[in-house]
Structure 1
Amino acid sequence: MTEDCAACKYQHRRCTAGCIFAPYFPHDREQQFENVRKYFPIHKVAQTIINLDRSKVDIAMRNIIVQSDMRAKDPVGGCYRIIQELEREIECKQAELDLVYNTIVICRAQGDGGFQMQKSAAGDHC
């Protein structure tokens, strides 16, 4: 006997073999179901599962679950705040990489060839 999925458990009903929520909300993922239910109308999620092309349903559901989990962790920023932080990190790493490239150019121009890294006045700001 298998346990009811989190969606059926929430609705106090038996989970059937054709339950559209079972693949995405197994019995041990009640919190994820609660997050989705809190941030997305569950009837819209069901429509998404039913109406979307089968090849895209898994991707859509993963996105819905991730977005609702992030919103639960950070109600104001959600995924957007994480994206902003990652963009800042990319910019910082790009600046570091540019500094390394510039140092290599300077070393080559001086005929050093040994790639001795000079200490930068910029330092590590990231």
Structure 2
Amino acid sequence: MDVGLMPAKAWARVKINQPCAACRMLRRRCGSDCLLAPYFPPEEFNNFVVVHKVFGASNVMKMLQKVEESKREDCVKSIVYEANARLRDPVYGSSGAICHLQKQVQELELQLESMRTKFLESQEQRNQLLKILMDFQYQCPISPIDDVMFDRGSFFLDDGTVPVLGYNPIEFPLHCDWIL
């Protein structure tokens, strides 16, 4: 039977004489009782090379023996991640990456708080300007033309009131060098 045409589940059941990545690197016979075979298949040779370089094969086997079988896969993933992190940063490993990310989170929280403060300040300035315009409106009479030129429903104060504003083009001509 051609193994290339077999379904994946059937492929897993067939014992091929190819050793796991650990046994291949350590140049030993890979038996059916190999502890590392389920977690370091031949295709993941580089993962075991990194793990072996950082922790050593005997230490990895000791760690796996101490972990219950249902959690070994997660343990191997963690060991591979830590080994890669140790190669990138031999002193701190994954702790260095975690500290770096925590520092970034703190900086972003400070930026967020700064932006919130600026937003609240701009809201306060807007409210003050609208109140000044409202006071000004009560001092000046409103002409019927103003209702056409200004949409009264477009401005609301924070307290829910609508200021009544008007623009009188005769009293306050608009000076500009462009035409609409």
Instruction: State the TM-score, normalized to the length of structure 2.
Output: 0.54
Letter in 2 for 1:77: Y
CA shift at 1:2, angstroms?
A: 5.9
Give the corresponding residue for 2:65.
50
The match for 1:3 among 15, 18, 27 is: 18
Tell me the percent identity: 26
Query: Does structure 2 retain, via aligned residues, the 8 Å contact 1:48–1:57?
Result: no
Letter in 2 for 1:106: E
CA shift at 1:30, angstroms?
A: 2.2
Q: Residues 38, 106 of structure 1: CA spacing in aligned structure 2 closer, same or farther, 3 A cutoff? A: same
Q: CA offsets, 1:91-125, max 9 Å, x none? A: 121112112211222233232899xxxxxxxxxxx
Larger Rg: 2
CA shift at 1:55, angstroms?
A: 3.1
Which structure 1 residue ranges, 4+ long, deviate > 6 Å from structure 2?
none
Distance in 2 (CA, whole Å) between partners of 1:37 and 1:75 is 15
The number of residue pairs the alignment matches comes to 114
Alpha carbon RMSD of aligned pairs, Å? 2.5
Structure 2, gaps ≥5 residues long? 1-15, 131-154, 157-180
Give the corresponding residue for 2:149.
none
The match for 1:84 among 73, 93, 99 is: 99
